[in-house]
Amino acid sequence: MIKFLDLKFQYSTIKEEVDAAMKNVIDNSAFIGGEEIKNLERDFAIFQNAEYCIAVANGTDALEIAIEALDLPLGSEIIVPANSFISSGEAVTRSGHQVVFCDCDPENYTIDLESLRKAITDKTKAVIAVHLYGHPCNMDELMALAIEKDLKIIEDCAQAHGAEVHGKRIGAIGHIGAFSFYPGKNLGAYGDAGAILTNDAALAKKSRMIANHGRIEKYNHIFEGRNSRLDNLQAAVLNVKLKHIENWTEQRIAVADYYLKELKEVPQIQLPKRESWARQVYHLFVIRVADRDHLKNYLKENDIESGIHYPIALPKLQAYKYLGQDEDEFYANKYDSQVLSLPIGEHITLNDAGRVVSVLKDYFGAK
C-alpha cells in the first residue's frame, strides 16, 4: 500500500530525538512557556527569514489573531481565494469582517490577480494570500497591489513551510503571516500548533498579547485577549522536526520533479504549474482529470491512496451559501470535481512514485 500520509514512518526515523525532547519537557514540568517555545520562535523566524515569530495554538487561531492585530474597521471586506481550506475564510468572519471570494489561477492554484482586482471595493481592507498546496502566491504583484489599493496582505502559509518567491521565504513578505503545524502539514506537531510571523514590531507585540489574554505581565491585562498559547511539548517536537524539514522538503521536490517529468506525456492529466520564480514545497501534488472519482477508485484498487483538496470549493459550501458566490464563473467553482492529490512526502520513495506513474499510465493507456 502506498500511503497518502505516513506519520508513523516519519516518527520511526526521529523516534529517539523526539522521545528525549518530550521526556525533557515532562521531567522539568515546563508545560506552558519555557525554553522549547523560545527556541522554536527564534529558530522558526530564522528558518522563514522573519523578524518576529509568535507561537500559537493552531493555524486557524494564527489567522484570526493576525487579522485582529491589524485592527481593521469592523465589517471590512477581506478577499479570500475560492479554493482553500475553510480556515482562510472562517478567520475573516470570526474576527468580525466580511468574506469576499475571488478565483484561483487554473495552473498554479494560488490567488488569481485579475479576479482579485475585480473583487476590490471601497470596503476592501485586506487579502488572504493562501500559498496553496505549497506553491507561493505571486507576492511581487500582491505587494504592488497592496500599495496601490492600500490593502493589508495576510499570508496563509499553512501549506508552505520553506516556500520561496525569488529565493525569499514566504511568511513575512506580506504584513503578517499565519502558519499551521497540524500533524499532516509539511512541518507538523503531535497535536494542534501554529505560529504568526511578521517583520512589524507593533503587530508582533499585539499578536502576542491577543494570544495571551491581552496582558503584558502575569495579571496586568491591557485589553481582553484570548488563550491561544502553544505548549512546550508541541514546541519540543517541532524543534526536533525543524532540523529535518529542509531534507524532507527536498525529498518532496524530488518526487514532484519525477511526477512532472514522467507524466508530462499523458494528455489526460493536467499537471500543476511551478512558476519560474517559485520554490514550491509540494505540501500537495495536485493533478486535474475528468472523471476524477473513477481514477481515485482505480488507484485504490491498485493499493495507492490519494486525496482531494478540496472536494467542495469554499463558495459552494453550506457555510458560505449566504454570500451567493456559488455560481460565480470561477475556475475554482468548477475544478473541485477534477482535482486529485497524489501521494507525496518523505515517506514516498522514487520507487513508490514510479509505481504511481505506471498505474496512472496503465489507466490512461499511455506508454
Ligand X SMILES: *Cc1c(COP(=O)(O)O)cnc(C)c1O
Rule CB under 6 A: which residues touch ligand X? 58-60, 84-85, 87-88, 130, 156, 158-159, 180, 182, 192, 194
Q: How would you write 2-50 as a 3-class SS string?
A: ECCCCHHHHHHHHHHHHHHHHHHHHHHCCCECCHHHHHHHHHHHHHHCC
Residue 64 CB, nearest approach to ligand X (Å): 9
Question: Minimum CB separation from ligand X for residue 245, in Å?
Answer: 16
Task: Kindly tell me which of 159 and 352 has the beta carbon lying closer to ligand X.
Answer: 159
Closest separation in Å from C-beta 182 to ligand X: 4
Kindly tell me which of 310 and 331 has the beta carbon lying closer to ligand X: 310
Closer residue to ligand X (CB): 36 or 192:
192
DSSP 166-186: TTEESSSSSSEEEEE--TTSS
- Interatomic CA distance for residues 3 and 191, integer angstroms: 20
Give, rounded to a whole angstrom, the gap between the first and last alpha carbons of the chain: 23
Report, in Å, the least distance between residue 133 CB and ligand X: 9
Minimum distance between the CB of residue 185 and ligand X, rounded to whole angstroms? 6
Answer whether 175's CB lies under 8 Å from 203's CB.
yes
Do β-strands 77-81 and 124-130 pair in parallel, antiparallel, or remain unpaired?
parallel
* Torsion angle, alpha carbons of 224, 228, 232, 237, to 10: -160
Rounded alpha-carbon distances, angstroms, from residue 332 to 15, 51, 125: 40, 34, 23
Nearer to ligand X, 161 or 288 (CB): 161
Q: Which is nearer to ligand X, 75 or 184 (CB)?
A: 184
Q: How far is the CB of 35 from ligand X (least distance, A)?
A: 23
Residue 270: count of CB within 10 angstroms of its CB: 18
What's the min distance (Å) between Cβ of 62 and ligand X? 7
The C-alpha atoms of residue 103 and residue 119 are separated, in whole angstroms, by 10
Burial 165-175 (b: 16+ CB within 10 A, else e): beebbbbbbbb
Point out which residues pair with 220 in neighbouring strands.
Answer: 217
Residue nearest to ligand X (CB): 59
4 vs 182 by CB, closer to ligand X: 182
Distance of closest approach, residue 310 Cβ to ligand X, in angstroms:
9
Got the DSSP string for 121-151?
-TTEEEEEEE-GGGPPP-HHHHHHHHHHHT-
Amino acid at 209: M
Q: How far is the CB of 87 from ligand X (least distance, A)?
A: 3
The SS3 assignment for 343 reads: coil
Q: Minimum Å distance from CB 197 to ligand X?
A: 14
Nearer to ligand X, 137 or 146 (CB): 137
Q: Of 52 and 109, which CB lies nearer to ligand X in the complex structure?
A: 109
Choice between 258 and 310, CB closer to ligand X: 310
How far, in Å, CA of 172 to CA of 157, rounded? 10
Nearer to ligand X by C-beta: 84 or 124? 84
